[in-house]
């Protein structure tokens, strides 16, 4: 079963939006959010295959034209129905608002339950209180690594902090925790909740681009690539940007929790 969900399914998508805030140029466009429901397949491997084959081919077709990027999520039918039964509102909203692009008629979905905003807020608050402190903890270790001159370890800790910050936003807004460790994918998913996310990691200078590249590569290469090197200046800069992401995450998540109250 293949389901289009999110802004394109609701008819609320943004084709292209540009703005300058505090002297920083940012742009945003909605992604094509697609859920693939399978049976017996490894969700992580299937997502990787979609990313490596389908998405890559898709971008080649539109190489010289502005186009929306497809974002795939893969779920086993049993896990999907379990999530519906547990009233996880990310999945219930997909069933209520999504558009089936393909259905082989072999799956039967559990009927989603309606949640009150109080229930949604309680779930979001609990998830935020579990996830956000992990980000704070990883940042503390990154500062210790900077002091000890262990810059590559510090970059890894910052990558982990960013993951948890992006996870926190997803959990508060839709009660979903992505499987991906790729910061670019996580950032792209969170931009839909606040365009300010786009202004955290800048790409105007070679130094800014290089630091972001180091941060994105840190999850794997800081542990396994002997040629992966981070300077004190680069780690200090990355810390400043992740501090901004930390404050922004707290602000937009707090605002969303207040929205549930209202």
Q: Indicate the average pLDDT of the chain.
A: 91
For the whole prediction, is pTM greater than 0.85? no
Shared domain for 81 and 167, answered yes or no, is no
Domain membership flag for residue 112: no
Give the tokens for residue 66: 């502005």
* Contact (CB, 8 A) for 13 and 7: yes
Cα–Cα–Cα angle for 6, 193, 203, rounded to 5 degrees: 110
Note whether 131 and 225 are same-domain residues: yes
pLDDT of residue 19: 67
Are 246 and 139 contained in the same domain? yes
| CATH number, domain containing residue 153 | 1.20.120.330
* Residues 193-214 pLDDT 10s: 998 998 899 998 999 999 999 9
| Residue 21: predicted pLDDT | 58
Last residue of a domain, one of 73, 102, 131: 102
Asked if the model's pLDDT at residue 25 lies above 70, the reply is: no
Domain count, the chain: 2
Q: What is the mean pLDDT of residues 55-73?
A: 88
pLDDT per residue over 215-261, tens digit each?
A: 999 999 999 999 999 999 999 999 999 999 999 999 999 999 999 99
pLDDT of residue 179: 79
Q: Check whether residue 255 and residue 145 sit in a common domain.
A: yes
Give me the pLDDT at residue 24, please: 61
Is residue 210 in a domain? yes
The mean pLDDT of 10-27, rounded to a whole number, is 72
Query: What's the pLDDT score for residue 121?
Result: 95
- 97, 129: one domain: no
Q: Is residue 111 part of a domain?
A: no
Question: Is 200 within a domain?
Answer: yes
Buried b (16+ CB within 10 A) or exposed e, 22-47: eeeebebbbbbbbbbbbeeeeeeebb
**198: domain range?**
117-261
């Amino acid at each position: 079963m293949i389901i289009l969900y999110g802004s394109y399914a609701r008819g609320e998508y943004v084709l292209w939006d540009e703005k300058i805030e505090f002297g920083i140029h940012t742009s945003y466009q909605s992604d094509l959010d697609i859920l693939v429901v399978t049976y017996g397949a490894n969700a992580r491997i299937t997502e990787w295959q979609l990313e490596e084959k389908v998405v890559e081919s898709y971008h080649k077709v539109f190489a010289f034209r502005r186009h929306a990027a497809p974002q795939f999520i893969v779920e086993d039918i049993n896990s999907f129905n379990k999530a519906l039964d547990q009233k996880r509102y990310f999945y219930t909203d997909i069933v209520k608002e999504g558009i089936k692009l393909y259905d082989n008629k072999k799956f039967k979905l559990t009927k989603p339950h309606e949640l009150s905003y109080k229930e949604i807020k309680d779930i979001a608050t609990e998830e935020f209180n579990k996830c956000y402190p992990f980000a704070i903890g990883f940042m503390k270790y990154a500062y210790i690594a900077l002091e000890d001159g262990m810059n590559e370890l510090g970059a890894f800790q910052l990558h982990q902090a960013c993951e948890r910050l992006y996870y926190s936003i997803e959990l508060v807004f839709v009660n979903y925790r992505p499987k991906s460790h790729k910061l670019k994918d996580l950032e792209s998913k969170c931009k839909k909740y606040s365009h300010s996310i786009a202004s955290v990691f800048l790409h105007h200078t070679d130094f800014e681009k290089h630091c972001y590249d180091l941060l994105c590569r840190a999850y794997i290469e800081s542990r396994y690539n002997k040629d992966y090197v981070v300077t004190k200046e680069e780690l200090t800069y990355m810390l400043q940007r992740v501090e901004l992401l930390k404050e922004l995450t707290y602000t937009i998540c707090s605002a969303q929790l207040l929205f549930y109250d209202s």
